[in-house]
Amino acid sequence: MKKTPARPSPAFRMTPQRAELLRALEGNKSHPSAEQLHRRLKKKFPGVSFATVYNTLQSLLAIGELAEVRIDRSRSRFDPCTDGHAHLMCVECGAISDLAVTSPPAAAGAPRGFKVLRCNVEFYGICPACGKKAGAKEKTLCQKKKRK
């Protein structure tokens, strides 16, 4: 399992901004968006542009030190862990969590000769925190049903 993008390849030119971005990503399990990373970087480097953050993310993706997670349809999210694990996303708050895939689904029914290169496993649902908030609403609905 690749842990962090701590040792980028020589093709990756290191700058203080880039080093800070790597620190922000290291061990980060929240699957941040480019916007979130830009906001975090601006705290230390107020002049850093979004393009710098975006381009750095693209370089890290290109050298395989970062994975792009597309489970969130509204924006790309980034993951320093590139071992091909699956993701769960809460449709209420957008929180993404990791899920270890013990056996990826087989491409049963794929046309003969189709070479599978990769597979994304995505789960959508309601996280425990959002589930608690919605819990009260559900209870009232259930009670109404019972009265019928």
> Where on the chain is the footprint of Zn ion (CB under 5 A)?
79, 90, 92-93, 95, 98, 127, 130
Query: By C-beta, is 68 or 98 nearer to Zn ion?
Result: 98
Alpha-carbon distances, residue 23 vs 5, 18, 101 (angstroms): 9, 9, 27
Cβ closest to Zn ion, residue 32 vs residue 48: 32
CA–CA separation, 17 and 70 (whole Å): 25
Q: What secondary structure does DSSP assign to 95-123, as a single string? A: -EEEE--SSPPP-TTPPTT--------EE
Shortest Å, Cβ 50 to Zn ion:
23
Which C-beta is closer to Zn ion: that of 34 or that of 130?
130
Q: How far is the CB of 58 from Zn ion (least distance, A)?
A: 18
Minimum CB–partner distance for residue 27 and Zn ion (Å): 12
Torsion of CA 40, 5, 50, 17, to 10 degrees: 70
The CA radius of gyration of the chain, in Å to the nearest whole number, is 20
In the complex with Zn ion, the residue whose CB is nearer, 8 or 94, is 94
**Minimum separation from the CB atom of position 122 to Zn ion (A):** 11
